[in-house]
Amino acid sequence: MKVDIVVAEIGSTTTVLSAFATDGSGKLRFLAQGEHYTTVDSGDVTVGIERAIGALKNRLNTDKLDWEMFLATSSAAGGLKMTVHGLVYDMTVKAAREAALGAGAVIKYVTAGKLNSGDLKHIIEVEPRVILLAGGVDYGEKETVIYNAKLLASLPLNIPIIYAGNIAATEEVVEILKDGDKEVLITENVYPRIDQLNVEPTREIIREVFAENIIKAPGMEKIYSVVDRKVIPTPAAVMLATGLLAESFEDVLVVDIGGATTDVDSYTQGDPEIQKMLIAPEPLAKRTVEGDLGVFVNAGYVINYIGEFKLHQEFPDYDNIISSISPYPLNSRVEEFIARLATYCFETSIRRHAGRIRQLYGPTGRIEVAEGKDLTAVKLLVGTGGVLTRSRFRERIMKSIRNLKKKHIKELLPSPDVRLGYDKNYIFAAIGVLSKIDRRLALDLLEDDLQLVTT
């Protein structure tokens, strides 16, 4: 049997392969999926891919499977370790973090202002794969970024340094870093003006660095013996799919609950009235990663947050359930318990992603201001990840959003009547990577994959 495209999503726990073929109308359609545990620990992820191919053959009822193109996204290596250094935390550092999180990087260390010897020592200990240097609006203060460039140039690290700061300092910064034998990648300022974020050019650079460095991660050395194009970070692929979703629904929010993390992607400018109240700009496309909210690897954190006593009351067989938690629930009780944890992850991750209304007191009295991401204009909330695509409790989990705004009225959360949907075939990341190949085919696939929830 021959298909057009196979996409592998190589996660920290499982590797999922999705097969696609064009139909008579020329639209790309999802055919089937095969999966297996990711084999990073054995030193070769292609082993897990081969076994997932075997599972895919079984689903397609064929002994032989060929394809025109094999693509992949990955989060198996834990993302691209990165440090970020800017001028003012609430401005350039914040913008740099937004760019990094939207591209699949894992932020290990952040500084604002001039670096010191302690910072340099910490950077060396972190062993980042890339450093992001920013600072200053265009044609504004440049002394700090030049000072930081001199210190970074002295580091005994053979890694790329991305410069996304004050354009007026570019020439001097690049010269300093190159004199230190550093590879320099130049892009647009992430914060060119006081009221403007410009994160997408930096995101694209980080995605490129990820693709070039993925083969250096343990177990990933053979990945390009399998795939035909550059591997992109799974979080970046999900963000690309979120952008596609926004073309049809405008303001959207995507929640991805995994075994280790819960990721939230939003694509919205927010309500115009809230925009007038914002004390600092927010990016159109924003991503947050909650590294303590997961339903398998980090289930212990979630259990502690909810409270073991409370869970014992809700689940009298708690002790039996807790010993049976795995990426694939063994029975209906375990599945229901996982759904309970997922509901907490769902609500908490959205609340952490959202901004809030604050009251300040000034010379003219009390005023209300808004800070953070405004989700009040979101029209569609989509669930993806194993729980929100495959659990029979997925709709119940997502419908918990109906009461969230009522409980937290000062937070900039989606309205109770927001439309809900889910990634019915678990191919959201695959759609994102396909959009880099053919945007039209990806949009058709997204339309077919999105399952709206009835109220």
DSSP symbols for 81-139: EEEEEES-IIIIIHHHHHHHHTTTEEEEEEEESS--HHHHHHHHHH--SEEEE--S-TT
Mean pLDDT, range 124-143, rounded to an integer: 93
301 CB-near residues (< 8 Å, 6+ apart): 292, 293, 294
79 pLDDT higher than 70: no
- Is residue 8 within 8 A of residue 17, CB to CB? The reply is yes
pLDDT digits (tens, 9 = 90+) for 335-366: 999 999 999 999 999 999 999 999 887 777 78
pLDDT at 78: 63
What is the pTM assigned to this prediction?
A: 0.83
Q: Which of 349, 317, 334, 341 is nearest to 413 (CA)?
A: 349
Mean pLDDT, range 109-136, rounded to an integer: 94
234 CB-near residues (< 8 Å, 6+ apart): 9, 10, 11, 73, 74, 75, 104, 429
Mean pLDDT, range 299-303, rounded to an integer: 93
**Does residue 58 or residue 359 have the better pLDDT?**
58
pLDDT at 77: 63
pLDDT at 80: 75
Structural domains in the chain, CATH included, are 2-77+217-225 (3.30.420.40), 80-214 (3.40.50.360), 249-422 (3.30.420)
pLDDT at 431: 96
pLDDT digits (tens, 9 = 90+) for 3-47: 999 999 988 778 899 999 998 888 899 999 999 988 877 788 889
Q: How far is CA 429 from CA 16, 96, 246, 258, in A?
A: 10, 23, 15, 13
Averaging pLDDT over each range in 162-166, 297-301, 357-361, which range is the top one? 162-166
Averaging pLDDT over each range in 98-102, 217-221, 278-282, 449-453, which range is the top one? 449-453
Mean predicted lDDT score pLDDT of the chain: 91
303 pLDDT higher than 90: yes
| Stretch among 243-252, 268-277, 319-328, 344-353 having the lowest mean pLDDT | 319-328
pLDDT at 312: 94
Q: Which of 280, 355, 351, 240 is nearest to 94 (CA)?
A: 280
Element (H, E) at 284: none
Q: How far is CA 138 from CA 92, 96, 145, in A?
A: 11, 15, 12
Taking the CB of residue 23, how many other CB atoms lie within 10 A of it?
10
How would residue 192 be classed by pLDDT, with cut points 50, 70 and 90?
A: very high
Mean pLDDT, range 184-190, rounded to an integer: 95
d(C-alpha 36, C-alpha 56), whole Å: 10
How would residue 298 be classed by pLDDT, with cut points 50, 70 and 90?
A: confident
**Does residue 95 or residue 269 have the better pLDDT?**
269
pLDDT at 14: 82
262 pLDDT higher than 70: yes
pLDDT digits (tens, 9 = 90+) for 59-73: 999 999 999 999 999
d(C-alpha 107, C-alpha 349), whole Å: 18
| Stretch among 102-111, 201-210, 246-255, 308-317 having the lowest mean pLDDT | 102-111
